[in-house]
Amino acid sequence: MKPPLTTQRAPPLPGSPLVVVGASAGGVEALRELVGGLPKDLPAAVLVVLHIAPSARSALPDILRRAGELPVQHAGDGDEIKQGRVYVAPPNQHLVVRDGRLVLGTGPRENGHRPAVDPLFRSAARWYGPAVTGVILSGTLDDGASGVAVVAARGGRVIVQDPEEALYDGMPRAAIRAVTPDAIASAAKVGRFLDEWTREPTDERPPPVHRDLQLETDVAELDESALSDPNRPGTPAGLSCPDCNGAMFEIADDVLRFRCRVGHAWSPESLFAKQLEDAEGSLWIAVRILEEKAALHRRLGDNARDRGQEVASHRQQEKADEAADTASAIRRLVTLPLETHESEGVALTQQ
């Protein structure tokens, strides 16, 4: 087993700038406009993560290829990163970078997604430092907020789609809360900033890599030494991971987030949304069990009445009514609007 991680010396000076882009709901149209605004001689590679269902077929390379002049392809594991190309993360695989190459893997999901935005941004910041530009486009919740914070902390630039323009403003607003962006622009104008910024000389070497950043980027690649390192970043959070039910650690750096022992990571908004989803599922299970209980008591009551046992039949009917009333009450709770759950059901969702 490798020894525990220590602070890594500064990576070598990158050969060319790197642009990393994160998007989710409403992101396809924003990506089309962004790519359409990039020149064919862009002196940087563009790496894209769009949230997509694990079993879906991604047509995004075809869509973006028709939108602009740059060649677009799905990222391949081990591919050399070449400037003037757009690489898209394939379904159900994290896309990260390491030492000038693309790395694909099925590491732990982050914010419920694989591919996720944060692992890409984090790895790009680790290896490229000031040569990275992070772009956040339309999407719900807050995947990418932690990633842009790391990009900014290591000297890179951040540009965010104008939340007023984005079809879904959750990710842009979360990114703006996490950092002060270098620019906020419409998706169609993002390309102009990228063209200008990537042509500026970058001779600043990336700073040394803190062991926590090294560990988290290695976890995304399923590195055994990182996964087994006893010195986890953060403190025990007293919360369980929705993906594996393991204990989570609270990481309170620039952006509050949580990570469990096996590597699943959650931002606050994504964690809360998952808790609500799981709570709703549990409540529907409770409704089903109570309705089945009511049906069984009615059947027992009918059998007792057929045998002339009126007292027993009445008792079974009372139990059936009690179970049905409880099921009805839970059903009303499940169908409350989301904002009501957020204001009145926090304790329930944290069970």
Active site residues: 24, 51, 143
Largest Cα separation within the chain, whole Å, is: 94
User: Rounded CA gap, 349 and 351, in Å?
Assistant: 6
SS3 235: strand
Determine the 3-state secondary structure of 345 from DSSP. Answer: coil
Buried b / exposed e over 203-213, threshold 16 CB at 10 Å, is: eeebeebbbbb
The length of the chain in residues reads 351
What DSSP line would sit under 199-253, residue for residue? TS---PPPPPBPHHHHHHHHHHTT-HHHHT-S--SSEEEEEE-TTT--EEEEEES
Tokens of 193: 């900033």
3-state secondary structure of 90: coil
Q: Give the separation between CA 320 and CA 292, rounded to whole angstroms.
A: 9
H-type helices in 144-205, by residue range?
A: 145-153, 170-178, 187-198
Report the run of H or E that residue 72 belongs to, with start and end: strand 72-74
How far from each other are the two terminal CA atoms of the chain, in whole angstroms?
37
The span from the CA of 255 to the CA of 176, in Å, is 12
Contact by Cβ (8 Å): 243, 46: no
DSSP state of 212: H
Q: Are 169 and 138 in contact (CB under 8 A)?
A: yes
CA 187 to chain centre: 21
CA angle 347, 350, 351 (to 5 degrees): 95
| Identity at 59, one-letter amino acid code | A
Assigned token pair, 201: 């000389």
